[in-house]
């Protein structure tokens, strides 16, 4: 059958076979022996779908058709079945062709019936001939979508919320551990709601080429822990009780009694240590003159407030009459 040209050798645009960013093929190839070969799918049917490259895979599918099978090489209309080719109807099966995902060059063979035989798409021993693709098509067909996925604020204190943000050039995105919303939008944000423990989230975005990108983020949750105690909790008037306190995962704390200055105040230049632990001034022996409430009031490392209290009661004094 000889050579088949897929583009105008003069450098013009008289004919050519083209591939769009979705893998659809169109246009015409030319053979001096066979005539025009239609890649437009203009006579496609259920048994012979239009030619295309499956995005993301590189597999070529569908059928081209030789216009010589029609009267007057019209590419459609009345058939002109040549008995010399066994009554060939012009269909050329492209399903043995594969497109390289890096170069978009074709390799493999097309099948044009017993009368035409195999049509080679590339020189198996070198570069004497072949079908080459363009970089823009390769980028569109074989590059997975870009995705940016993060949480802010992160970390947070227990009981606080974070917001998940995602941006992408994908067609759709699905969340795991959260919902991206109706229609699986490719860009958006959503609140996590109040969290009490570290929480992982994952998003998978699918491009128009079927390729996917998955990203994950974990919202770290700091749990402030505070405690305050008195020993004993019941005393006689004008006797002492030992007040002890501690806190972890905090930014600063204030310990106060029923009156007078604070027993300890981390916001006055005595902050927790580098690990967020606070025990400044603990314990203290306090003389109890009446029922007394002692409170530790702390701010978590990310702004939440945690308060605990203890009450020291005074034993009644009984008098004999």
Summarize pLDDT for 243-298 with one digit per residue, the tens: 999 998 888 888 999 988 888 876 544 455 555 678 888 899 999 999 999 999 98
Residue 258 CB partners (closer than 8 Å, separation 6+): 290, 292, 293, 294
User: Which tokens is 70 given?
Assistant: 């029609």
- 133 versus 29: which is more confidently predicted? 29
Maximum separation of any 2 CA atoms in the chain, in Å: 138
User: Of 127 and 267, which is predicted with more confidence?
Assistant: 127
Separation between Cα atoms, residue 116 and residue 69, nearest integer Å: 12
pLDDT (0 to 100) of residue 259: 86
Distance CA(295)–CA(256), nearest Å, equals: 5
Cis upstream peptide for 283 (omega within 30°): yes
pLDDT at 268: 46
Q: What percent of the chain has pLDDT over 70?
A: 93
Measure the CA–CA gap between 219 and 177, rounded to whole angstroms: 12
Question: Residue 114 is inside which H or E element, if any?
Answer: helix 113-116
Over residues 19-32, mean pLDDT: 91
DSSP, residue by residue, 227-264: EEEEESSEE-TTEEEEEEEEEESEEEEEEE-SSSS-SE
Residue 173: closest CA among 204, 210, 207, 209: 204
**Long-range residue pairs from 147-153, CB within 8 A, at least 24 positions apart, any chain:** 147/173, 147/203, 147/205, 147/213, 147/214, 147/215, 148/215, 149/201, 149/203, 149/215, 149/216, 149/217, 150/217, 151/192, 151/201, 151/217, 151/219, 153/302
The β-bridge partners of 176 are 202
Alpha carbons 252 and 151: distance in angstroms, whole number: 25
For residue range 175-232, what is the model confidence (pLDDT) as tens digits? 999 999 999 999 999 999 999 999 999 999 999 888 999 999 999 999 888 999 999 9
Q: Is the pLDDT of residue 235 over 60?
A: yes
Closest CA to 69 of 49, 41, 89: 89
Helix (H, G, I), strand (E, B) or coil at 92: strand
Q: Are 44 and 62 in contact (CB under 8 A)?
A: yes
Reduce the secondary structure of 216-231 to three states and give it as a string: EEEECEECCEEEEEEE
Task: Name the average pLDDT for the chain.
Answer: 88
DSSP state of 187: S
The answer on pLDDT for 82 being more than 70 is: no
Query: pLDDT value at position 249?
Result: 85
More confident: 132 or 38? 38
Say if residue 20's pLDDT is above 50: yes
pTM value is 0.70
């Amino acid at each position: 059958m000889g050579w088949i040209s897929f583009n105008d050798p003069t450098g013009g645009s008289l004919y050519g076979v083209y591939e769009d960013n979705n893998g659809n093929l169109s246009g015409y190839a030319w053979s001096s022996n066979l005539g025009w070969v239609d890649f437009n799918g203009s006579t496609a049917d259920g048994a012979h779908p239009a030619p295309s490259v499956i995005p993301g895979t590189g597999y070529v599918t569908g059928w081209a058709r030789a216009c010589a099978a029609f009267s007057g090489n019209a590419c459609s209309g009345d058939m002109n079945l040549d008995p010399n080719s066994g009554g060939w109807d012009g269909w050329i099966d492209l399903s043995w062709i594969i497109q390289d995902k890096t170069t978009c060059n074709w390799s493999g063979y097309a099948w044009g019936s017993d009368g035409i035989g195999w049509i080679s798409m590339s020189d198996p021993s070198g570069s004497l001939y072949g079908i080459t693709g363009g970089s823009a098509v390769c980028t569109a067909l074989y590059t997975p979508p870009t995705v940016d996925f993060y949480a802010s604020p992160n970390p947070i204190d227990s009981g606080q919320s974070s917001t998940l943000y995602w941006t992408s050039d994908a067609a759709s995105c699905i969340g795991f551990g959260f919902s991206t919303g109706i229609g699986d939008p490719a860009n958006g944000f959503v609140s996590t709601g109040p969290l009490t423990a570290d929480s992982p989230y994952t998003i998978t975005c699918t491009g128009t080429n079927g390729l996917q990108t998955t990203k994950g983020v974990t919202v770290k949750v700091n749990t402030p822990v505070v405690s305050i105690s008195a020993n004993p909790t019941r005393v006689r008037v004008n006797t002492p009780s030992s007040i002890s306190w501690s806190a972890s995962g905090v930014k600063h704390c204030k310990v106060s009694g029923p009156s007078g200055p604070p027993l300890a105040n981390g916001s006055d230049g005595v902050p927790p240590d580098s690990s967020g632990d606070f025990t400044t001034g603990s314990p203290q022996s306090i003389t109890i003159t009446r029922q007394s409430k002692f409170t530790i009031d702390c701010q978590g490392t990310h702004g939440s407030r945690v308060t605990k209290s203890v009450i020291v009661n005074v034993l009644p004094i009984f008098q004999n009459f």
